[in-house]
Amino acid sequence: MQSRLKKFEEKTGYEFSDESYLEEALTHSSYVREHPRENLRSNERLEYLGDALLDAVVGEILYRRLPDAEEGRLTKLRAAVVCEKTLADISRSLDIGSYLYMGNGEIKQGGRNRESILADAVEALIGAVFLDSSYETVSEFITRLTRNPVEEAISGRLVKDYKSAIQEMLQARGLKAPSYQVAKEEGPDHSKTFFVDLIIDGKVYGSGCGRTKKQAEQNAAREVLERGNS
C-alpha cells in the first residue's frame, strides 16, 4: 500500500508527512460501505474542505490577475475553473481514478471514470494537502493544478455553455429546443449526483451526470454535441 501511495505522491508533486490524510482522500464512500469492520472514513469531509479552499484560492488568483474585471466576470471564470468537468480533467491528468479505494459495485458501474467521483477526489486531495501542511502550501498546490484551466478561462477558451450551443444548433435546423429530465439521483442529500437525459421530440439523445441538476444538464448537452447527435 505504501509503495502505491508513494507512486501517487510522485504524480501530484506533493509528499505527505501523514499519509493517513492521503488514504482518506482516496477512499470513496462505496469502499467504506463494503468494509464496515475496518472503521474507515470516506473522503466526503475532505471534499467539503477542499471545495472551500479551491474557491478561495482560484478566486484570489483571478482577482489578482484581472484587476479591472467586475464581480460577474470573476464569478463566471471561477465557476468554469472549479466546475466538475475541469476538476475531472485535472483528476485524469493525475490518474486519480486508478488509485481510488472503491467498492466493487461502484467499479463495475464505471466509477473510476465517473466525472463526479473524479472531481470530488481532487477536492478531497486538496483538503488533505491543507491538513497535512498549511494554507500557503495548499495555495501553491492549487495554483499548480489549475494553472492551465485558469489561463484557458481568462483567454475565453474554457467558459462554454453547452445548453445554449445545442439550442442554437437545433434552432438553425428548424427543430424544437431540447428538454431535460432527471432520470435518477444518487447519494445523500448533502452530496447528491443527478443523472439527466436530454430529450428531443420525445427521444433521449444523450445523458449526463453532475453534482447539481444544471451541471448534469450541461454535461448531457456536451455529450450530444461532442458525439455529433441532433
> Which one-letter amino acid corresponds to residue 17?
S
> Radius of gyration of the chain from Cα atoms?
19
Angle at 131 between CA 193 and CA 148, to 5 degrees: 60
Query: Are the C-beta atoms of residues 101 and 122 closer than 8 Å to each other?
Result: no
Cα separation of 22 and 69, whole Å?
Answer: 37
pLDDT of 229: 41
pLDDT per position as a tens digit, 167-214: 877 877 778 889 999 999 988 887 789 999 999 988 999 999 988 898
User: For residue 35, which phi and psi values (nearest 5 degrees)?
Assistant: -130, 60
pLDDT per position as a tens digit, 15-64: 999 999 999 999 999 999 998 888 889 999 999 999 999 999 999 999 99
Nearest-CA neighbor of 19 among 132, 137, 127, 134? 132
51 flagged as catalytic: yes
Task: Note the pTM of the prediction, 2 decimals.
Answer: 0.73
Active-site entry in 44, 123, 132, 197: 123
- Other residues' Cβ atoms within 10 Å of the Cβ of residue 36: 8
pLDDT of 129: 98
Query: What residue spans of the chain are helical by DSSP H?
Result: 2-12, 19-25, 29-34, 44-65, 71-81, 84-94, 96-99, 104-108, 115-132, 135-145, 147-155, 162-172, 213-227
Active-site entry in 51, 120, 197, 217: 51
pLDDT of 137: 98
